[in-house]
Amino acid sequence: MTGRATAGLALALGVVIAHASSQAPAAAGVDVGAPQRISLTSPIGPPCTDADPNFASGHVVETDIAISPSDPRRVLVSWIQDGSATDAVMASRDGARTFSRVLIPGLSACTGGAAQAASDPGVAFSADGRTSYFSGVGVDVLSTEPFRPSVTMLASRSGDGGFSWANPVAVQPGEGMYWDKPILSTDPRRPRVAYYAFALRRPPAYNSGYSLLSRTSNAGRTWSRPQKLYDPHTTSSWPGNSEILVNRDGALVNVFVLASGDGGTGPAQILAARSVGRGARWRRPVVIGRTSGFPPSDPVSQNIVETIGAIPSQTVAPDGDLYVAWAAPGPTRRRSRVVVARSTTGGRSWRSSAVRVRGQSLFPAIAVSGDGTVGVLHYVLAAASHGGVWPARIKLDTTRRFGGRWHTHRVAGPFNMLTAVDRVRGCCAIGDYVNMAPLPHGLIAAYPMAKPLSRHQTDVYVSRITTR
């Protein structure tokens, strides 16, 4: 749940994306499959639709994807369903060729829970593939003037590959506070261990706070009391999008953005902190990179993709190297970059490489396939709209040698960003993040697009990428 607090409950819904990359010839040995629409018609009906003022039938955004490390045919995709009515999970047994839709029971009022709305969905598999995890939030708005949310951090578990789920456990009760953006990650060496990182954003402006960490050692049945993870000790910044990565030596690395400004649209730092004692103590963070944080905008319609502009995507490669990607706007809307950083020292030091973008970039998603291909999925937004159309495309940049040449591949689009509309945020609402997951010889990406490709307000698509 990111974005501007002044947007009211829209914060609970998520927002946006966009990007691009250089137009170098596609690399040999990388094949991108055609986009496959996997979202369905709305599963939500009365009385929930009548009681929810934010209900937006067919508006699906904020995608996450996970592939079982023990069986790559097992795939999970999650997203926010119908504006913020609930979060949905799509489960596959055949490598994302077909899916079954599952709603998390007890997550929101629309699925038998108490929360008004749901947001920030994520999915993960344990190291042995026996346990599937869902993370998300339940949102209640206690007041609109001034805006005062109460956000509960939730986690659920599944023992059948995500085709059925237990009622969520409250990792952090709402308590009238703005707890934000959980990311659940699993330990690759200890199948019953997982980590749950999130942030507290303080009122009244919600532009300061600190991050927290909880963990489970019994496959998600119970979670530890959240402990403070990182506090910048400022009144104008907060650590967002924190994710715990497990290094090759078993040490934990916390990668996050130190966001600032109104809703995170100010200058930002991408940071990494290494732990000793499996999270008992954390070293001082090192700066991976910096960015202006400004999100894409259209000078013609005056629309802004309203979200934190520097949310990073982070992952651990099969060889144990750590990777982080983030968008770096250029001096004009015509050019920008996606920055990719790698650490071969367990997060102690980082080296960066830049993917040049023709247009406006935002929210890259990074993954490394089993054969070592580094892939960065990203949207590309045109510098401006024309005739009521703001073109957006989805592309993939790959490299086999970090620091070498990046090769660009077309994934999907174009679609019209101006048609991605929900009832609270208005224009340009397609989520706060997308994601991509690795295969032994490839990647699978999950992402939303709007009309004209979408049958609804937005739809979620998957693309299979084969590397060889």
CATH of the domain at 21: 2.120.10.10
Q: How far apart are CA 117 and CA 63, in angstroms?
A: 17
Two tokens at 1? 């749940």
Q: Does position 23 have pLDDT exceeding 90, yes or no?
A: no
Instruction: Output the pLDDT for position 301.
Output: 95
- Give the count of domains, the chain: 1
pLDDT in tens, 376-430: 999 999 999 999 999 999 999 999 999 889 999 999 999 999 999 887 778 898 8
| Start-to-end CA span in the chain (Å) | 37
Q: Which residue would you say has higher pLDDT here, 283 or 145? A: 283
Phi, psi of 201 (to 5 degrees): -115, 125
Helix (H, G, I), strand (E, B) or coil at 419: helix
Q: What is the mean pLDDT of the chain?
A: 90
Say what the pLDDT of residue 20 is: 32
393 in a domain, yes or no? yes
Domain membership of residue 182 as a residue range: 10-467
pLDDT for the residue 25: 44
How far is the C-alpha of 275 from the C-alpha of 346, rounded, in Å?
Answer: 10
Q: How far is CA 314 from CA 216, 325, 365, in A?
A: 21, 6, 8
pLDDT reading at 374 higher than 80:
yes
CA–CA separation, 328 and 256 (whole Å):
15
> Given the structure tokens 């009548």, which residue do they identify?
50
**CA proximity to 199, closest of 123, 266, 256:** 256
SS3 label, residue 148:
strand
Note the helical H segments in 28-171: 48-51
- Label residue 221 by pLDDT band (50, 70, 90): very high
Pairing verdict, β 268-276 and 286-291: antiparallel
Convert the pLDDT of each residue in 195-210 to its tens digit.
999 999 999 999 999 9
Is 5 part of any domain?
no
185 has pLDDT over 80: yes
The token pair at 97 is 């060729």
Q: Is the pTM of this model over 0.85?
A: yes
Strand-strand pairing, 313-316 and 237-246: unpaired
Domain-located, residue 262: yes
pLDDT band at 28 (very low <50, low <70, confident <90, very high): low
In sequence order, the β-bridge partners of residue 464 are: 444
In a domain, 217, yes or no: yes
> Can you tell me the distance from the alpha carbon of 301 to that of 5, in angstroms, rounded to the nearest whole number?
23
Asked if 121 contacts 181 with a C-beta cutoff of 8 angstroms, the reply is: no
The DSSP secondary-structure symbol of 18 reads: B
Instruction: Over range 139-152, report the average pLDDT.
Output: 91
> Is 267 among the domain residues?
yes
Angle subtended at Cα 310 by Cα 307 and Cα 313, rounded to the nearest 5 degrees: 110
Helices (H) and strands (E) in the chain, counts: 1, 32
Whether residue 21 is predicted with pLDDT greater than 50 in this model: the reply is: no
| Section 165-183 average pLDDT | 97
In our burial notation (b when 16+ CB lie closer than 10 A, e otherwise), range 214-240 reads bbbeebbeebeebeebbebeeeebbbb
- Rg (the chain; Cα; Å): 20
Query: pLDDT exceeding 70 applies to what percent of the chain?
Result: 94
Residue 351 lies in a domain: yes
Exposed e or buried b per residue across 390-423, where buried means at least 16 C-beta atoms within 10 angstroms of its C-beta: bbbbbbbbbbeebeeebbbbebbbbbbbbbbbbb
Asked if 338 and 361 touch (Cβ cutoff 8 Å), the reply is yes
Q: Which helix (H) or strand (E) holds 156?
A: strand 147-158
For residues 87-101, give the mean pLDDT.
97
The secondary structure of residue 40, as a DSSP letter, is -
Q: Which two tokens stand for residue 459?
A: 């739809």
Q: Is residue 4 part of a domain?
A: no
Whether 202 is covered by a domain: the verdict is yes
Report, as an integer, the average pLDDT of 11-27.
Answer: 34
Nearest to 158 by CA among 68, 243, 252, 245: 68
Instruction: Give the contacts of 446 (CB within 8 A, at least 6 positions apart).
Output: 38, 63, 64, 65, 77, 79, 434, 435, 436, 460, 461, 462
CA distances from 327 to 200, 309, 445 (A): 24, 7, 18
pLDDT band at 330 (very low <50, low <70, confident <90, very high): confident
- At residue 1, the pLDDT reads 59
Neighbours of 249 (CB within 10 A): 7
% of residues, the chain, pLDDT over 90 = 75
DSSP 161: S
Question: CA 228 to CA 236: how far, in whole Å?
Answer: 18
DSSP state string for 363-382? EEEEEE-TT--EEEEEEEE-
Over residues 333-346, mean pLDDT: 95
CA distances to 90, 239, 291 from 260, in Å: 34, 9, 11
- The pLDDT of residue 245: 97
